[in-house]
Amino acid sequence: MIPLKEIKFVLLDMDGTLLDKYFDDYFWEHLVPEKYAEKHKITFGKAKEELLLKYKAHEGTLNWTDIDFWSRELDLDIPALKEQIKHLIEVHPHVEDFLKMLKRHRKKVYMVTNAHYKVLDIKLKKTEIGKYFDKCITSFEIGYPKEMVGFWEKTEKILKFDKEKTLFIDDTAEILRTAKNFGIKYLLLKIRANSKKHDKPADGFEVLENFKELLTLS
């Protein structure tokens, strides 16, 4: 398993890793198509079909999680819609125990997220987990999504982490592959990102289902 005693830097993704992705999946797969269908006077099915094509075209780019971009693209107030259902934002089990343990053992703890800073703000206010992080880095601040090595090159310069003593946890295998190619030594793939869905089998990464598995230093 992961030798937490040897690790000095812990980099954590937010959506799907620390927070239940149910909120995001419900938002983009149900609420947005519903509002888009109302606006364009089309069926929910047709709206979903059109939106999936639009989503696919921007996957893995900065636009993908840019809610200002989607507000313009879809002519919907995306931040206002997120506020409407913010009660659905939930932290995964034992995340807070894990974060408290890291702070007790004086690890450097950083959030690294593709989430837009407006979404980050909504989620940190709702969950109150921001107090456990030494810094939060967003792909918008860096200018690259985490899927690109440029993100990691710039983030390393800002955070000055030692790749050999760093653990990174994310729920997206593609992002972990980029981090691995960059040289981050310890990587975990968070599964059950959405507590109401079962993931496809992981490919090539050690998996983490519940943060309880990492509470070994306490």
State the Cα–Cα distance between residues 95 and 4, nearest whole angstrom: 15
Q: What percent of the chain has pLDDT over 70?
A: 98
Residue 218 has pLDDT above 60, yes or no: no
Within 10 A of 102 (CB to CB), how many other CB atoms are there?
A: 21
Same domain, 65 and 139: no
> Which tokens belong to 218?
């306490």
Quick one: 59 exposed, middle or buried, by C-beta within 10 A (0-12, 13-18, 19+)? exposed
Residue span of the structural domain in which 157 resides: 9-20+90-214
Same domain, 193 and 97: yes
> Which tokens belong to 148?
């690109």
Asked if residue 127 is part of any domain, the answer here is yes
| Percent helix / strand / coil, the chain, rounded to 5 | 50, 15, 35
Same domain, 15 and 58: no
Same domain, 109 and 205: yes
* pLDDT tens sequence across 78-92: 999 999 999 999 999
Q: Which helix (H) or strand (E) holds 70?
A: helix 67-74
How far from 35 is each of 41, 56, 60, 70, 154, CA to CA, in Å? 10, 19, 24, 13, 38
Within 10 A of 47 (CB to CB), how many other CB atoms are there?
A: 20
Q: What is the mean pLDDT of residues 181-202?
A: 91
Domain count, the chain: 2
Within 10 A of 113 (CB to CB), how many other CB atoms are there?
A: 26
Instruction: Determine the pLDDT at residue 176.
Output: 97
Asked if residue 4 is part of any domain, the answer here is no
* pLDDT tens sequence across 193-216: 999 998 776 678 999 999 999 998
What CATH number does the domain containing 156 carry?
3.40.50.1000
